[in-house]
Amino acid sequence: MKYSLTGAIALAFAFAMPMTAGAQEVSEADMKAALEKYDGSETLATVGDQKVTLADAAMIYTTLPPEVGRVPADQLMDGITDQLISETALFEKALEEGMDDSKEMKNRLAAIRRSALAEAYLTQQLEARVTEESLRKQYDEMTAGFEGEKEVNARHILVETEKEAQEIVKEIKDGADFAKLAAEKSTGPSGPNGGSLGWFAKDAMVAPFAEAAFTLKKGAVSAPVQTQFGWHVIKVEDTRTQSPPPFEAMEPQLRQQASQGVAQEIIAEVREGAKIEKSEEVPPAFLVRESSMFKD
């Protein structure tokens, strides 16, 4: 059974973190001064001959879940440092027993190095190719032909009979305030709020109601409209056509989508430029499931 020290850190913080915890804001001036003074090589603790540095702690932080960002910085630093001390003490014991010379460890370290460097190169290339400029161009192309759905902001008064609805229409024509009548006479849940339904698209309402609401002009009041809920009198407060989401809201999604495609392009380019030869004779495929292939 494997035990993850990084997972233990996250779990420890999850149990220790108060519900009201919040990340402390650091001023731009304080951050600038700290970055000028410290470079990550500073020692937080020593375990035997091994140093636990600020760089070690900062790297561990990048592996923790986002919720940990709510933990106060002092508590976070203490917790990470304490876990690194435990990890380093275990590391020294492993060295004492010569575990770094084992077949398994050599294979694991080689795999970690290969994976980390491959990821670093791919990230570097993605940052160079998936730029804000390229994403804005993609956004402009995507939204150029955008046809927004029409929406209506309306109020309504719901009553049981057509006669009641007709009387309400007459009162409104005579100058009665629609919202006040809704509060007084509507049996619908929006009545206390002056009959306000807010903004809605056509498919959000039952067909007879929607047809009536979306044929009315701004400020107009409908004739009585019957639905399965009763009789409605509708007033359209305003209409609008949906605009595309702003670039800032779309950027994370656009970046993710673009990165997936560009990553495949980068991998294809690298593979094409590499000298690759697959062995004609390979061991039995079932051995890929055997841990003895990388262990002593």
Under 8 Å CB-to-CB from 19, ≥6 apart: which residues?
Answer: none
Residue 134's pLDDT band, with cuts at 50, 70 and 90, is very high
Residue 15's pLDDT band, with cuts at 50, 70 and 90, is very low
DSSP result, 195-229: TEEEEEEGGGS-HHHHHHHTTSPTT-BPPPEEETT
Model pLDDT, residue 3? 58
Arithmetic mean of pLDDT over the chain: 91
Model pLDDT, residue 16? 55
19-38 pLDDT per residue, tens: 444 556 789 999 999 999 99
Give CA 200 to chain center in angstroms: 26
Closest CA to 79 of 63, 59, 57: 57
Q: Look up residue 6 and give its two tokens.
A: 């990084």
Beta-sheet strands, E only, within the chain: 43-47, 50-53, 150-159, 196-201, 225-227, 230-241
The values of phi and psi at residue 202, to 5°, are: -60, -40
Does the pTM of the predicted model rise above 0.85? no
197-252 pLDDT per residue, tens: 999 999 999 999 999 999 999 999 999 999 999 999 999 999 999 888 999 999 99
- Judged on CB neighbours under 10 Å (0-12, 13-18, 19+), 220 is exposed
Sorted by where each starts, the structural domains of the chain and their CATH numbers stand as 5-99 (no CATH), 102-141+246-265+284-296 (no CATH), 150-241 (3.10.50.40)
Model pLDDT, residue 23? 57
Single-letter residue type at 271: R
pLDDT at 13 over 80: no
pLDDT at 150 over 50: yes
**Pairwise CA distance, residues 6 & 65, whole Å:** 10
- Cα 147 to Cα 67, 154, 185, 189, 217: the distances in Å are 38, 22, 38, 33, 20
Under 8 Å CB-to-CB from 161, ≥6 apart: which residues?
Answer: 231
52-92 pLDDT per residue, tens: 999 999 999 998 988 888 889 999 999 999 999 999 999 99
- CA atoms lying within 13 Å on the CB side of residue 181: 23
